[in-house]
């Protein structure tokens, strides 16, 4: 299944875990919280994901991937929760929203001839990450007074990676793929690691249309020193990506 262009789009049925801390003071050390168990966020959101690829020469190709996750929840706190130096006490109702947007670009060299069933690509890429987490609710100012407060943390940054991509097409109808991207480094205001792993299969229904399923795993973990987010973050997405594909 050799094509110059390919596009996939579908739903990513992901299980998500989001642990993070955020503080305003430079020297402060904030406790890291699990947003699913502490704030009641849904840990199995369905996401839209899409990918487009271009094999622009016999040896060189380019692929881009995009997905976005937005969640919100509300919970009466069973423990104190601190976010951006604001403390929400036990018994307060906290409203929470998180958003994560990832655009991945990967540039790779193919190590095979165009007509062979096996295809190995090795290259480098870039993840552009946009993260936001907001918590709001009543906070106690003193023994007699409470007030509504909103605390938001935001970060946007690029993070490079290296990776490999293997494809096997035993005939014109079937395509099997496996991919891994990784890097651990300190880049500008982020220090940590990133993983992006997938394995799947695609079946050609008609000349230029197919259907596929793959398992996708994404992990980001490290320290942020952005102007609007100083703290720690570790988030994972894992689950099945069900998609339609087009190729020509």
| Domains recognised in the chain with CATH numbers | 5-247 (2.40.128.90)
- The pLDDT > 90 percentage for the chain reads 66
Per-residue pLDDT, 227:
87
Q: If you average pLDDT over residues 133-160, what whole number do you get?
A: 88
Residue 124: which H helix or E strand, with range?
strand 118-140
Contacts (Cβ under 8 Å, ≥6 apart) of 170: 117, 176
pLDDT in tens, 62-79: 999 998 988 989 999 999
Per-residue pLDDT, 103:
95
Write phi, then psi, for 29 (nearest 5 degrees): -120, 110
- pLDDT confidence bin for 35, thresholds 50/70/90: very high
Report the C-alpha gap between 213 and 118 in whole angstroms: 19
Per-residue pLDDT, 177:
95
pLDDT in tens, 109-144: 998 765 678 889 999 999 999 999 999 998 877 766
Q: Is the pLDDT at 171 greater than 80, yes or no?
A: yes
Residue 23 bridge partners (DSSP): 230
Per-residue pLDDT, 28:
53
Beta strands in the chain (DSSP E): 5-20, 33-34, 46-54, 60-76, 81-83, 86-88, 93-110, 118-140, 146-168, 174-187, 190-204, 209-226, 229-247
Mean pLDDT of the chain: 90
- pLDDT confidence bin for 213, thresholds 50/70/90: very high
Per-residue pLDDT, 236:
95
Highest mean pLDDT of the ranges 67-71, 167-171, 176-180: 176-180
Per-residue pLDDT, 29:
59
Per-residue pLDDT, 30:
66
Q: Is the pLDDT at 1 greater than 60, yes or no?
A: no
Q: If you average pLDDT over residues 209-226, what whole number do you get?
A: 95
Q: Is the pLDDT at 53 greater than 70, yes or no?
A: yes
Per-residue pLDDT, 134:
95
């Amino acid at each position: 299944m050799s094509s110059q262009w390919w596009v996939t789009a579908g739903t990513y049925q992901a299980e998500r875990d989001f642990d993070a801390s955020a503080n305003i003071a430079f020297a402060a050390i904030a406790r890291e919280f699990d947003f699913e168990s502490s704030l009641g966020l849904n840990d199995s959101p369905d996401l839209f994901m899409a990918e487009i690829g271009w094999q622009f020469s016999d040896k060189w190709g380019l692929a881009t991937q995009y997905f976005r996750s937005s969640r919100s929840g509300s919970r009466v706190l069973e423990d104190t929760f601190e976010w951006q130096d604001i403390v929400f006490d036990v018994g307060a109702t906290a409203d929470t929203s998180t958003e994560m947007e990832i655009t991945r670009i990967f540039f790779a060299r193919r190590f095979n001839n165009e007509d062979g069933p096996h295809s190995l690509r090795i290259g480098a890429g870039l993840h552009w990450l946009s993260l936001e987490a907001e918590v709001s609710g009543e906070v106690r100012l003193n023994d007699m007074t409470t007030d509504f407060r909103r605390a938001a943390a935001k970060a946007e940054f690029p993070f490079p990676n290296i990776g490999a991509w293997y494809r096997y097409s035993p005939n014109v109808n079937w395509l099997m793929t496996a991919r891994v991207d990784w890097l651990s480094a300190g880049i500008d205001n982020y220090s940590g690691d990133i993983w992006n792993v997938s394995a799947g299969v695609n079946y050609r229904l008609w000349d230029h249309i197919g259907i596929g399923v793959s398992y996708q795993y994404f992990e980001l973990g490290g320290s942020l020193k952005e102007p609007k987010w100083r703290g720690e973050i570790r988030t994972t997405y894992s689950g099945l990506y069900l998609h339609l594909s087009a190729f020509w």
